[in-house]
Structures are given as structure tokens and as C-alpha cells.
Amino acid sequence: DTGVSQDPRHKITKRGQNVTFRCDPISEHNRLYWYRQTLGQGPEFLTYFQNEAQLEKSRLLSDRFSAERPKGSFSTLEIQRTEQGDSAMYLCASSLDLKETQYFGPGTRLLVL
């Protein structure tokens, strides 16, 4: 399977704990995006990278959220001191530079108790 992969697929954590998600984009895709989707809503943009550079961050991304793409390949999204409001599906997508189509992974569903 050469699509976007995300790990883990599900995460249950207690409020206040830190969690980290991983995204592996399609090989050679230099743009990588993170979105958050709550139940019954459309995905909301969080941040995106071109290669290893983080080019844009949404105002939704509080100081507790941090994303990295250290070698321009996989990316990690960390949430510190999780809150119940962080419960959502976290989606990763990738695309080729200057190409419109974003290919989404299956998402990581986070539940904060």
C-alpha cells in the first residue's frame, strides 16, 4: 500500500497526558498537512509543511500542539496536557508541490477521558 499511513489508528488517553501521532506521506510528496475533524464536521486545517519547513499554522493550533517533519519525510503531531476538547480525528494528507490533490490518510482517532 503506497498511500498515506498514520499511526496509531486509535488512542485513548487521560486528560493531562501527552500524546504523539505519526504520519507517513506518499513517497516523494513534499507537502504534508495536518487537519482535525470532530464528529459531524468537516476537517479543519491545523498546519502544513513543505519538505521540513513548517509554512503555516492555524490559530486553532494552541501552544499545546507542536508538529515536526525533521527530514522532510514523516511527520509527528504532539499534543501536550491533553484536554477533553482535543478528542477528534486527526487527519494527515500529502501532495506534490504545486499539485492540487491532497491525499488523506485514515486518521488517528483520539479520545481524551
Partner 1 sequence: QQQVKQSPQSLIVQKGGISIINCAYENTAFDYFPWYQQFPGKGPALLIAIRPDVSEKKEGRFTISFNKSAKQFSLHIMDSQPGDSATYFCAASKAAGNKLTFGGGTRVLVKP
Residues that bind partner 1 (CB under 8 A): 4, 31, 33, 35, 40-45, 48, 56, 91, 93, 95, 97-107
Return the bridge partners of 95, or none.
31
For residues 110 and 11, the answer to whether their CB atoms sit within 8 Å is yes
CB 83 within 8 A of CB 18: no
| Cross-strand bridge partners of residue 50 | 31, 53
Please, are residues 92 and 6 in contact by the beta-carbon 8 Å criterion?
A: yes
Q: Shortest gap between Cβ of 31 and partner 1 (angstroms)?
A: 6
Query: Distance (Å, rounded) from C-alpha 10 to C-alpha 65?
Result: 18
